[in-house]
Amino acid sequence: MARIRTIKPEFFTSDDICALSPLARLLYVGLWCEADREGRLVWTPGVMKRRYLPDDACDIEALGAELTGRGLIRLYGDGLACIPSFARHQHVNIREAQSKLPPPPGDVQAQLPLGREGEGREREGEGTERAHAHALPQDWKPDEEDLAWAATARPDLDRTALEAESERFCHHAAANRRTAHRWGPAWRIWISKAHPPAARLAERPGFAGENRKDAAVPERETEAQWRARLARYRPGKFWLEGDWGPRPESGNARVPPHLLADWRKQSEAA
């Protein structure tokens, strides 16, 4: 049974949410409607696809893996799931029926008394969230999963450029005293917005780019870059629409036609 839920404006700028693909974000919001007042639900990807993404060409299992991989959804028991942050962000109507699903193992929040429309638990949850947010460790570096993401999302940045951007990211976080629950998603957002190395060189004061052929700003959409973006892409997977334009399966893609045709053949063969 679907329920009415609320969404906060800061949802759209949260580091964890910005790191998701657009359809994974939409599915996550849909799962709030699916969950009961404790944030628990029966995990049925096929049903969720029909309810919340009926007309979208996507891999619902892959979208679910995005959410579980980032800890936004937790699977437990025999086909059950819960939304760990549910009580922190939803004001539940006091007349809503109690959950009929068992709590996940180790759910301390399930033992807390509810105040008026969940106020007691929400305040407790908010305190826990603040306690878990932490400053960037001095020796922090992107992990292998982050680097693999960058190889697909930003093929125009080589290892040296990524190391330089990571250093800028760390300095920026320290200078602005930023805190986060997990720093990988914040780093990915930083990298997705980074300028190519030649573009930063051309922006320096006094740089005479027109007199140096070897330092000209390259085109971002070269054939090699498009091939790198398409190599592991499948409908519904990660695609940086803000920079790369509509998805390849949309019919309005900016991908060169011959590369798009090759990608379609490979997708059909797979």
- HSE value, Cβ hemisphere, 13 Å, CA-based, for 41: 23
Question: What does the pLDDT look like over 202-243, one tens digit per residue?
Answer: 444 554 444 444 444 344 457 777 887 788 788 877 777 766
Read off the pTM. Answer: 0.44
pLDDT (0 to 100) of residue 207: 45
Higher local confidence (pLDDT), 213 or 150: 150
Mean pLDDT of 175-180: 80
Mean pLDDT of 112-136: 47
pLDDT (0 to 100) of residue 59: 92
| Least confident segment among 99-113, 148-162, 175-189, 211-225 | 211-225
DSSP H helical ranges for the chain:
15-18, 22-34, 45-52, 60-69, 86-89, 119-132, 144-153, 159-175, 183-192, 197-202, 223-231, 241-244, 257-269
pLDDT (0 to 100) of residue 29: 94
Packing angle, helices 144-153 and 223-231, rounded to 10? 130
Residues 32, 47: Cα–Cα separation, whole Å: 14
Mean pLDDT of 143-172: 86
- Four-point Cα dihedral 176, 70, 83, 32, nearest 10: 90
pLDDT (0 to 100) of residue 212: 43
26: pLDDT strictly greater than 90: yes
Residues 147, 193: Cα–Cα separation, whole Å: 15
Q: Edge-to-edge, what's the strand order for the sheet holding 80-82?
A: 40-42, 80-82, 74-76
Higher local confidence (pLDDT), 1 or 185: 185
120: pLDDT strictly greater than 60: no
Residues 181, 176: Cα–Cα separation, whole Å: 16
> Which amino acid appears at position 74 of this protein?
R
pLDDT (0 to 100) of residue 75: 93
Question: What does the pLDDT look like over 249-266, one tens digit per residue?
Answer: 888 888 888 988 988 888
Parallel, antiparallel, or unpaired for β 80-82 and 134-135?
unpaired
Percent of the chain with pLDDT over 90: 19
pLDDT (0 to 100) of residue 148: 85
Tokens of 193: 């917005």
pLDDT band with cut points at 50, 70 and 90 for residue 83: very high
Q: Which of 137, 113, 116, 135 is nearest to 124 (CA)?
A: 113
DSSP state letter for 235: T
115: pLDDT strictly greater than 50: no
Question: What does the pLDDT look like over 59-82, one tens digit per residue?
Answer: 999 999 999 888 899 999 889 999
| Least confident segment among 12-21, 98-107, 208-217, 230-239 | 208-217
Residue 28: partners with Cβ closer than 8 Å, 6 or more residues away: 17, 20, 67, 72, 73
pLDDT (0 to 100) of residue 72: 92
pLDDT band with cut points at 50, 70 and 90 for residue 92: confident
Cα–Cα distances (Å) from 74 to 36, 43, 225, 233, 243, in that order, read: 14, 10, 35, 25, 31
pLDDT (0 to 100) of residue 242: 64
**What's the sign of the alpha-carbon dihedral 47, 52, 58, 61?**
negative
pLDDT (0 to 100) of residue 34: 92
